[in-house]
Amino acid sequence: MKTLIKNASVFDGKHAKRKENAYVVIENNLVNEIEKGKISEEGFDTIIDAEHRTVIPGLTDAHVHLFFNGNGISDGMRADENAVRSVRVARDMLLRGFTTVRDAGGVTYGLKKNIDSGFLEGPRILPSNAFISQTSGHGDTRANRAEYRLTDGIYASASLQNKGTVLADGVAEVLRAVREQLFLGASQIKIMAGGGISSAYDPIQTVQFTLKEMKAAVSAAADFGTYVMAHLYTPQSMQRAAKAGVKSFEHATMMDEETAKIIAANGIWVTAGPQCGRNWSTPLTPEEVKKKSAMVREGEALTTELILKYNLPLLFGTDSFGDPDRIEKFQLEDFSFFKKRFGSFQGLVAATGNVYELTKLMTYQNPYPEGKIGVLEKGSFADLCIVEGNPVEDLDILADRNNMKLIMKDGKIYKNIL
């Protein structure tokens, strides 16, 4: 199967200058050639005229939760409910142009397997499986203090019993939890290293997991050729995680200058999700959650300044979770937040070319070793979008799904309104 895209302005995921008047040759599910000029159209099964629109790599959201898709912990949704709803969430993300997502915690094995086999439609999934939390940490999602542990691994809590999170205390339990996620096919490990907004009983300021526990997680992941990503906000949590060898900081919104220097020196990725730049509160949001959200937002301006000052490795991540209609409303809009914080080019690279560099941390745990993700060059997967305008110069273009004219994943077209 050979496909030709002609009259294209190609953004390769790395360089601000597009390749103009280019053609893209796709053989089966891989890009074989990208060159300027014209090419004979003979021998192609499909010919697509981009009409000088911009062809970009398929987008990656580096922080989503496909499995956590209810309206809140109080929903008490069963695992089968979450799993069924995740099918819609995944398909919707693909139709917004996200051909790959890094799932930052949840039950995704069945979803990923059926997407990869072609039974369901959705993005490539880089799974963490269950995120790992200490007791009374951000992953201890009990809704109130009356929900308790019955025995080891059995809880009077639907949100813990659905296996999207694992509680582990002490080095031995952390090692077992990490190894269990690796057995289930994790491409990287997710730990909760500090307090969170949505959880009711862990203040933002808490530092979660001891240094020994974090090092145990990092060591067990490294033994399987991969890395650890960590949820955290405060300098104390970030500095401990850096010392332990964690390679991806999720949120990191209360950064200070000393911590920024440590991140830069260690080449740690920052998924600076702008979800805290808006007011997520509803009339039903608990007051404590509103307070924590406001506290986190206060640090965002300085964090943005430090990311730019020290040129910290940046990933685009939205922390998309919860009701599918909520995700639909805000996932693409986050590109506008990235433009305001980091500029259009850096924001676009965070969702494309930087992801290719991130995938190298997974080594042989990469579930998609046959092609390159996040770039458009020879050997990359035929995951791409054709968009109206030039998002390299104006990232707001991607915030409007109507500008997404064609979406291709693995050489197959999922949307075409050219």
Q: Domain locations in the chain?
A: 2-58+372-416, 59-342
User: Which residues make Cβ contacts (< 8 Å) with residue 200, sequence separation at least 6?
Assistant: 73, 142, 143, 144, 286, 288, 289
- Label residue 53 left, alpha or beta by phi (over 0 means left) and psi (-120 to 50 means alpha): beta
Q: How far apart are CA 187 and CA 397, in angstroms?
A: 31
pLDDT for residue 196: 83
Q: How far apart are CA 389 and CA 56, in angstroms?
A: 11
pLDDT for residue 146: 66
pLDDT for residue 310: 97
pLDDT for residue 68: 87
Q: Kindly list the averaged pLDDT for each block of 10 residues, start to end, along the chain of length 418.
A: 96 97 96 91 94 97 92 68 93 98 95 97 98 90 68 65 86 97 97 86 90 98 98 96 98 95 98 64 62 76 95 95 85 93 97 98 98 98 98 97 97 96
Does the domain at 59-342 match CATH 3.20.20.140? Answer given as yes
Residues 2-58+372-416: name the CATH superfamily.
Urease, subunit C, domain 1 (2.30.40.10)
User: Which residues make Cβ contacts (< 8 Å) with residue 46, sequence separation at least 6?
Assistant: 1, 2, 3, 4
pLDDT for residue 9: 97
pLDDT for residue 326: 82
* pTM confidence score: 0.94
Tokens (6 digits) for 301? 């301006």
pLDDT for residue 323: 83
